[in-house]
Structure 1
Amino acid sequence: MKQCLSGWRGIYLGLAWLGVFCLAPAQAAEGVPGGWSWRLPAGFAAPVVPADNPMSQAKVELGHYLFYEKRLSGNGQLMCASCHIQRLAFTDGRPVSRGSTGEYTARSAQALMNVAWNASYTWANPALTSLETQMSVPLFGENPVEMGVNDRNKQQVLQRLQADARYRRLFRQAFAQDAAPISWRNIIRAIASFERSMVSGNSRYDRYLQGRARLTAAELRGKALFFGEKAECFHCHGGFNFSDQTVSVKTRLEDMLFHNTGLYNLDGKGAFPEGNRGVYELTGLAEDMGKFRAPSLRNIAITAPYMHDGSLKDLPSVLAFYAGGGRKISQGSYQGDGRLNPYKSELIGNIDLSRQEQQDIIAFLGTLTDQQFLHQRALADPLRR
């Protein structure tokens, strides 16, 4: 049964120009027609792919070019890869990102590896459950402006691609059944296909699990803490993708999980900064104040700064934050004791870690870096590799 998003949700997703946006039933992604097959790391179950956008090699190739295409932005100044840099696990190393017109986003750019297994997309929107729906936000969003595509320049952007012989060929190959293949719908489907091909599963920890690498004493102590009840890490960062929002053909997510970790408490009653209040901004429910998704911890050592707003500069700051049961801000406009936030997850208050234990967990997190993924030629700028 199709699930349709209409009304205010359709407007929020920036898809009003399409009318009503429907999510087609999903299909299992095993070997699929079109010259594409999944080559998954050990322990990875096959991802779920929308039935109306099956994987194909031609779509992945087209999406690869579009991901690195500045002409896809309204003013021709920004590409997807501007905020999602491969060597940084497709983050940008900034607290928040800068759009094509110079406007800044409210939240940090999330890593794109293993997004084929995400249950939801962006930091705090349970309605964005596919890459195809998520992509409308950076492409067409106006508050803030990211790629800056709008009703005034939408056709002009398409004309830029239509004037390029390479794109005319790539679109025909990827969408041979369409009389006019260069369209926004197909642009989104192609980029989503490329993003689903970004698979990271060859870290030293992965090789350790396969008996092909060793961990140091500190890394092993960190591993024991990470998966133990003292540090509580695995509750929100478990499974093969180190996230509690992971779905595959072998699982189904019964609850969409978002968490308040005690990062802010502006008024002593749980408030987060205006315009950055998590799931609460969609539901208006007090208990959703400050709730954000727990991202995957794969490649976490190279994706600083951290948290949804980039307000923690490095991993020692993150571990100290959790070990303290939240964050107390003593001065400035964000002053408040997040440790006392009434909506904070009960897991956070139970964490008690010494300085050495924090360092050991950081050592373990370093084993989750996948150098092959960070330098894989198949994901690099196709015009420069």
Structure 2
Amino acid sequence: MFARNLVWLLGVVLLGAGGVYWLTDTAPEAPYVWSIPAHYPAPLVPADNPMSEAKVALGRYLFYDRKLAGNGKQSCADCHQQAHAFAEPLATSIGSTGELHHRNASALVNVAYNKTLTWSHPHLQEIERQVLIPMFADNPVEMGIAGHEQQVLKALARAPYPELFNAAFGDEEVNFLRVTQALASFVRSLVSFSSPFDRYAYQNDDSALSAQQLAGMELFFSERLECHHCHGGFNFTQSTTHQNQPINRFAFHNTGLYYTHQPQSGQWGYPEHDRGMIDVTLNPGDEGLFRAPTLRNVAFSAPYMHDGSIATLSEVLDFYAAGGRVIATGPLAGDGRKHPNKNQFIKGFELTEDEKQALLAFLESLSDAHFIRNKQYANPWLLDEQPAVDQ
């Protein structure tokens, strides 16, 4: 009982009634029904792209279609794999042309609730805008559509797309505005609320969490460890907005991952190829700031951090216990704990081995096995319809 009361006191249980609400000016012919329990709030939806089952269905085909890439070799799902909570088991992604990226592919878990999108852009708040980056950006190349627009649009005229576009938009016209709206609708539909933690906290199932997991939960929400300050709320991230909380809470933090000498500038800080939010805002105080991701399904989405530089959850706990990271040798050598922008809550702590295992067990309790196996989110194409990726 104490542990459940702790959940309430720390604001994990939602304020206000949940249920399904239509939050746009224009409703579709059939209101979209969210696959979320009644006690959770509904996500906010753009008025110019209301959710519909038909758009989600179209977006699902597009998400898994390698012909959406300029060279036909990569789909969204190649970097966002369902078995890994729509992340991927690589430190950083590889684009359709083989170009190595500098960022880890974010898990697409409850993205509909994200106030901001991507690792370090404080102003990118609409999925419809975000999907344009992997589709058209050329530095680095991801899907590589730029310069191949007509080829891609032609590929999207094949079956079953005419029927899908007609169901979603009322006619068979294919254009990139519709593509982005459908993709955004499918990504918004990827909701996950069936973890053991959910059963314990919101369905009054006292048996859903073990004694070890309960002990880990109390550590997670303790002022001693401070985890909940950056990973709080029902979605375990500050970057959360919904019908009951339209305000924006600042969700970007420097965790002391790097403080290294940069040969080009002669300065100390984060590696020059990715300095975090400062690359968007140009504010020196924003160096090393990255968005705190949701911890839902975190056990499925290794490796961790914006650059995938920490391999396991156990190592993540070691990193935070140390109050940052010390790299002894190599081009990134330095003491991240000394970075002047490091978040005040990253101050280090001590854990016994039993406490560490309890905390890991609690993080495991945020895993939703149904989410990674849900056939509604799986690849709708037959295997022989999907061209193989060139090796």
- Return the TM-score normalized by structure 1: 0.89
Pair 1:285–1:128, CA change in 2 (3 A): same
In the alignment, which residue of structure 1 is the partner of 2:274? 276
Mean alpha-carbon deviation: is it higher for 246-255 or for 265-274? 265-274
In the alignment, which residue of structure 1 is the partner of 2:213? 219
Asked whether the 8 Å contact 1:70–1:77 carries over to 2, the reply is yes
**2:123 pairs with 1:132:** no
Deviation at 1:77, TM superposition (A): 0.3
Pair 1:371–1:262, CA change in 2 (3 A): same
**2:156 pairs with 1:158:** no
Pair 1:34–1:194, CA change in 2 (3 A): farther
In the alignment, which residue of structure 1 is the partner of 2:102? 106
**2:210 pairs with 1:244:** no
Among 191, 194, 197, the residue aligned to 1:199: 191
Deviations 1:217-245 (A, max 9, x none): 22111000111111111111111110001
Q: How many residue pairs end up in the alignment?
A: 355
In the alignment, which residue of structure 2 is the partner of 1:19? none
Pair 1:191–1:348, CA change in 2 (3 A): same
In the alignment, which residue of structure 1 is the partner of 2:5? none
SS of equivalent to 1:254: coil
Pair 1:229–1:31, CA change in 2 (3 A): farther
**2:259 pairs with 1:259:** no
Among 313, 323, 326, the residue aligned to 1:325: 323
Equivalent positions of 1:276-295 (< 5 A) are 276-295=274-293
SS of equivalent to 1:47: coil
Deviations 1:67-101 (A, max 9, x none): 11010000000001000110110011110011100
In the alignment, which residue of structure 1 is the partner of 2:175? 183
- Return the TM-score normalized by structure 2: 0.87
Asked whether the 8 Å contact 2:240–2:248 carries over to 1, the reply is no
Deviations 1:230-280 (A, max 9, x none): 111111111111000100011023343200000000039751011211101
Mean alpha-carbon deviation: is it higher for 265-274 or for 61-70? 265-274
In the alignment, which residue of structure 1 is the partner of 2:6? none
Equivalent positions of 1:1-385 (< 5 A) are 28=23, 32-35=27-30, 36-150=32-146, 152-162=147-157, 164-176=158-170, 181-209=173-201, 210-212=203-205, 213-267=207-261, 271-349=269-347, 351-384=349-382
Asked whether the 8 Å contact 2:55–2:182 carries over to 1, the reply is yes
Deviations 1:311-361 (A, max 9, x none): 000011000000000000000000000111111000001544333322211
Deviations 1:92-111 (A, max 9, x none): 11100111000011100001
Deviations 1:356-381 (A, max 9, x none): 32221111000010001110010001
Asked whether the 8 Å contact 1:225–1:361 carries over to 2, the reply is yes
Deviation at 1:384, TM superposition (A): 4.2
SS of equivalent to 1:28: coil
2: CA distance, partners of 1:53 / 1:42? 23
Pair 1:43–1:338, CA change in 2 (3 A): farther
| Unaligned ranges ≥5, structure 2 | 1-21, 384-391
2: CA distance, partners of 1:373 / 1:29? 27
2: CA distance, partners of 1:29 / 1:95? 38
1: CA distance, partners of 2:148 / 2:57? 25
Deviations 1:266-308 (A, max 9, x none): 0397510112111011111111000000000000011111000
2: CA distance, partners of 1:34 / 1:84? 31
2: CA distance, partners of 1:348 / 1:297? 17
Deviation at 1:216, TM superposition (A): 1.7
Higher relative contact order (CA 8 A, sep 6+): 2
Sequence identity (%): 46
2: CA distance, partners of 1:303 / 1:79? 19
SS of equivalent to 1:102: coil
2: CA distance, partners of 1:217 / 1:344? 34
Asked whether the 8 Å contact 2:299–2:363 carries over to 1, the reply is yes
SS of equivalent to 1:49: coil
SS of equivalent to 1:349: coil
